[in-house]
């Protein structure tokens, strides 16, 4: 059984003080044991204070992006080696990075390689545009992005993929659970081709795109979906903790287990 993950991508939101307050509220809302891996991804400037605010909890910390070089004359960029002592996870290939900052498939591949080499755990984002979806090209686009991102890389360790249809991100127009499940089944099939069936069975694949406490159950009840990468709703502590609790109840309806979960 794969351990479900709920990750919050705060994007370019919250000041440092707001970030600490938000994570403090999330921490209070999750008092007690839970068997969902929870990750929060604040802006770079808040990583250190949020890390301090998370001490004593099992909530993990992630970054929203990296550059693929270790150091050098790259003004404004953050390298993997700068992050590895601060956080475990890093989001790579988010559609906003691809759309606004020119992160091509080649750049995403380099960032994936740099993250893995540094010991960070990537959350790799893939997803199609609305016109591609309507033209029936979803599977081709998503598998193409996946193959490009992972080309030449050893992903024998932990891998998390987030399927985020671009037309559903921040629009309030979430995809349907069955549609997402079918696409994620294709993603898992592609991973099996690249790395073998065992790795594909163990890799977690999340859904992202206008996820809220009102629609999370529709996705978590699907057989192939292992959690969610949450955007706007992760900025509201009550919504975010509600999403986590609903996920836990769906995956573990009777006395949630505390062991024998994949990958941990």
Spatial CA neighbour of 240 closest among 21, 30, 60: 30
Whether 89 is a known active-site residue: answer: no
Q: How far apart are CA 37 and CA 57, in angstroms?
A: 11
**Dihedral angle, C-alpha 10, 16, 21, 22, nearest 10 °:** 0
Which position among 94, 96, 128, 248 bears the catalytic label?
A: 94
Torsion angle, CA of 33/23/220/36, rounded to 10 degrees?
-30
End-to-end CA distance of the chain: 10
How far apart CA 178 and CA 153 sit, in angstroms, is 30
Catalytic residue (one of 37, 96, 128, 164): 164
Question: Known catalytic residue: 94?
Answer: yes
Q: Name, in order, each residue with C-beta under 8 angstroms of 155's C-beta and a sequence gap of 6 or more.
A: 116, 194, 195, 199
Q: Is 164 helix (H, G, I), strand (E, B) or coil?
A: coil
Q: Tell me how far apart the alpha carbons of residues 178 and 63 are, in angstroms, rounded to a whole number.
A: 30
Catalytic residues: 94, 164
């Amino acid at each position: 059984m794969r351990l479900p993950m709920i990750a919050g991508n705060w994007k370019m939101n919250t000041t440092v003080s707001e970030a600490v307050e938000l994570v403090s509220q999330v921490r209070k809302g999750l008092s007690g044991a839970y068997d969902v891996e929870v990750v929060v991804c604040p802006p770079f400037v808040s990583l250190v204070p949020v890390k301090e605010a998370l001490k004593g909890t099992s909530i993990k910390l992630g970054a929203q992006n990296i550059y693929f070089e270790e150091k050098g004359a790259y003004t404004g960029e953050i390298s993997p080696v700068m992050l590895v002592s601060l956080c475990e996870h890093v989001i790579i290939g988010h559609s906003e990075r691809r759309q606004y900052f020119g992160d091509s498939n080649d750049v995403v591949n380099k960032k994936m390689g740099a993250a893995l080499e540094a010991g960070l755990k990537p959350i790799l984002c893939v997803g199609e545009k609305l016109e591609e979806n309507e033209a029936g090209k979803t599977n081709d686009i998503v598998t193409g992005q996946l193959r490009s991102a992972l080309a030449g890389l050893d992903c024998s360790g932990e891998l998390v993929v987030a399927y985020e249809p671009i037309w559903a991100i921040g629009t309030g127009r979430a995809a349907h659970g069955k549609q997402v499940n079918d696409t994620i089944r294709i993603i898992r099939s592609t991973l099996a081709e690249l790395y073998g069936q065992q790795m594909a069975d163990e890799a977690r694949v999340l859904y992202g795109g206008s996820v809220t406490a009102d629609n999370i159950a529709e996705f978590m009840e699907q057989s192939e979906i292992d959690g969610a990468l949450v955007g706007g709703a992760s900025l509201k502590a009550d919504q975010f903790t509600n999403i986590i609790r609903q996920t836990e109840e769906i995956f573990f309806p009777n006395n949630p287990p505390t062991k024998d979960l994949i990958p941990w």
